[in-house]
Structure 1
Amino acid sequence: MKGPASYFPSIEKTYGRPIAEWKTLLRASPLAKHGELVSWLKAEHGLGHGHANALVAHTLAEDKAK
Protein backbone atom coordinates (compact mmCIF):
# COMPACT_ATOMS: atom_id res chain seq x y z
CA MET A 1 0.00 0.00 0.00
CA LYS A 2 1.15 3.49 -0.77
CA GLY A 3 -0.07 6.98 -0.03
CA PRO A 4 -2.89 7.65 2.41
CA ALA A 5 -4.04 4.01 2.43
CA SER A 6 -0.72 2.98 3.99
CA TYR A 7 -2.01 4.52 7.24
CA PHE A 8 -5.22 2.47 7.30
CA PRO A 9 -4.05 -0.56 9.35
CA SER A 10 -2.60 1.77 11.97
CA ILE A 11 -5.77 3.92 12.03
CA GLU A 12 -8.00 0.87 12.55
CA LYS A 13 -5.73 -0.51 15.26
CA THR A 14 -5.31 2.81 17.07
CA TYR A 15 -8.91 4.04 17.01
CA GLY A 16 -10.83 0.75 16.86
CA ARG A 17 -13.05 1.59 13.91
CA PRO A 18 -12.93 0.18 10.39
CA ILE A 19 -11.94 2.55 7.60
CA ALA A 20 -15.39 2.23 6.03
CA GLU A 21 -16.90 3.67 9.21
CA TRP A 22 -14.54 6.67 9.15
CA LYS A 23 -15.42 7.29 5.50
CA THR A 24 -19.14 7.17 6.33
CA LEU A 25 -18.60 9.72 9.11
CA LEU A 26 -16.65 12.01 6.79
CA ARG A 27 -19.27 11.81 4.06
CA ALA A 28 -22.06 12.54 6.57
CA SER A 29 -20.27 15.62 7.87
CA PRO A 30 -21.62 19.00 6.75
CA LEU A 31 -18.03 20.08 6.14
CA ALA A 32 -16.53 19.79 2.66
CA LYS A 33 -13.05 21.31 2.68
CA HIS A 34 -10.01 19.14 3.33
CA GLY A 35 -8.67 21.30 6.18
CA GLU A 36 -12.05 21.57 7.88
CA LEU A 37 -12.53 17.81 7.81
CA VAL A 38 -9.03 17.17 9.18
CA SER A 39 -9.64 19.63 12.03
CA TRP A 40 -13.02 18.04 12.74
CA LEU A 41 -11.57 14.52 12.98
CA LYS A 42 -8.85 15.77 15.31
CA ALA A 43 -11.21 17.76 17.55
CA GLU A 44 -14.23 15.46 17.62
CA HIS A 45 -12.61 12.04 17.37
CA GLY A 46 -9.10 12.54 18.74
CA LEU A 47 -7.22 11.49 15.61
CA GLY A 48 -3.65 12.55 15.08
CA HIS A 49 -2.97 14.95 12.23
CA GLY A 50 -1.34 12.39 9.94
CA HIS A 51 -4.14 9.88 10.38
CA ALA A 52 -6.87 12.49 9.91
CA ASN A 53 -5.14 13.87 6.84
CA ALA A 54 -4.78 10.41 5.28
CA LEU A 55 -8.45 9.56 5.82
CA VAL A 56 -9.67 12.86 4.40
CA ALA A 57 -7.33 12.76 1.40
CA HIS A 58 -8.31 9.21 0.50
CA THR A 59 -12.06 9.78 0.98
CA LEU A 60 -12.13 13.01 -1.05
CA ALA A 61 -10.07 11.42 -3.85
CA GLU A 62 -12.49 8.48 -3.97
CA ASP A 63 -15.48 10.80 -4.13
CA LYS A 64 -13.91 12.82 -6.95
CA ALA A 65 -13.29 9.65 -8.94
CA LYS A 66 -17.01 8.76 -8.91
Structure 2
Amino acid sequence: MTDKAKGPASYFPSIEGKYGKPIAEWQALIRARQPAKHMEMVRFLKDEHGMGHGHANALVAATLVEGRD
Protein backbone atom coordinates (compact mmCIF):
# COMPACT_ATOMS: atom_id res chain seq x y z
CA MET A 1 0.00 0.00 0.00
CA THR A 2 1.43 3.38 -0.99
CA ASP A 3 0.97 6.43 1.19
CA LYS A 4 -0.37 9.49 -0.55
CA ALA A 5 1.37 12.78 0.16
CA LYS A 6 -0.60 15.07 2.44
CA GLY A 7 -0.54 18.77 3.06
CA PRO A 8 1.66 21.02 0.93
CA ALA A 9 3.65 18.06 -0.45
CA SER A 10 0.52 16.83 -2.22
CA TYR A 11 1.06 19.67 -4.70
CA PHE A 12 4.62 18.64 -5.58
CA PRO A 13 3.91 16.35 -8.56
CA SER A 14 1.76 18.98 -10.27
CA ILE A 15 4.28 21.74 -9.48
CA GLU A 16 7.09 19.76 -11.10
CA GLY A 17 4.94 18.96 -14.11
CA LYS A 18 3.59 22.46 -14.63
CA TYR A 19 6.72 24.52 -13.94
CA GLY A 20 9.41 22.09 -15.15
CA LYS A 21 11.82 22.14 -12.21
CA PRO A 22 12.32 19.59 -9.47
CA ILE A 23 11.06 20.55 -6.01
CA ALA A 24 14.64 20.69 -4.71
CA GLU A 25 15.40 23.56 -7.13
CA TRP A 26 12.34 25.50 -6.04
CA GLN A 27 13.23 24.96 -2.40
CA ALA A 28 16.79 26.18 -3.02
CA LEU A 29 15.37 29.41 -4.50
CA ILE A 30 13.15 29.85 -1.47
CA ARG A 31 15.98 29.20 1.00
CA ALA A 32 18.18 31.73 -0.82
CA ARG A 33 15.56 34.41 -0.10
CA GLN A 34 15.47 33.81 3.64
CA PRO A 35 14.94 35.54 6.01
CA ALA A 36 12.16 37.03 3.84
CA LYS A 37 8.65 36.61 5.19
CA HIS A 38 6.39 33.81 3.96
CA MET A 39 4.21 36.01 1.75
CA GLU A 40 7.23 37.82 0.31
CA MET A 41 8.55 34.47 -0.90
CA VAL A 42 5.12 33.52 -2.28
CA ARG A 43 5.00 36.83 -4.15
CA PHE A 44 8.50 36.20 -5.54
CA LEU A 45 7.47 32.81 -6.96
CA LYS A 46 4.30 34.30 -8.44
CA ASP A 47 5.89 37.45 -9.90
CA GLU A 48 9.24 36.08 -11.05
CA HIS A 49 8.28 32.55 -12.05
CA GLY A 50 4.60 32.80 -12.98
CA MET A 51 3.54 30.33 -10.32
CA GLY A 52 -0.04 30.17 -9.10
CA HIS A 53 -0.78 31.24 -5.55
CA GLY A 54 -1.64 27.76 -4.23
CA HIS A 55 1.48 26.17 -5.64
CA ALA A 56 3.73 28.99 -4.42
CA ASN A 57 2.18 28.93 -0.96
CA ALA A 58 2.53 25.14 -0.68
CA LEU A 59 6.20 25.25 -1.68
CA VAL A 60 7.06 28.02 0.75
CA ALA A 61 5.15 26.37 3.60
CA ALA A 62 6.78 22.97 3.05
CA THR A 63 10.24 24.50 2.75
CA LEU A 64 9.90 26.56 5.91
CA VAL A 65 8.60 23.58 7.89
CA GLU A 66 11.65 21.54 6.82
CA GLY A 67 13.91 24.31 8.11
CA ARG A 68 12.41 24.04 11.61
CA ASP A 69 13.43 20.42 12.10
Bigger-Rg structure (1/2):
2
Which of these residues, 52, 55, 62, is aligned with residue 51 of structure 1? Answer: 55
- Coordinate RMSD, CA, aligned: 1.0
Structure 2: distance between partners of 1:17 and 1:52: 13
Partner of 1:24: 28
Q: Normalised by the size of structure 2, how large is the TM-score? A: 0.89
Structure 2 gaps, min length 5: none
Seen in structure 2, the aligned counterparts of structure 1 residues 54 and 40 have a Cα distance that, compared at 3 Å, is same
Runs ≥4 in structure 1, deviation > 2 angstroms? none
Task: Tell me the percent identity.
Answer: 68
Structure 2: distance between partners of 1:9 and 1:63: 21
Moved more, 38-47 or 25-34: 25-34
Q: Normalised by the size of structure 1, how large is the TM-score? A: 0.93
| Structure with greater helix share of residues | 1
Structure 2: distance between partners of 1:31 and 1:48: 22
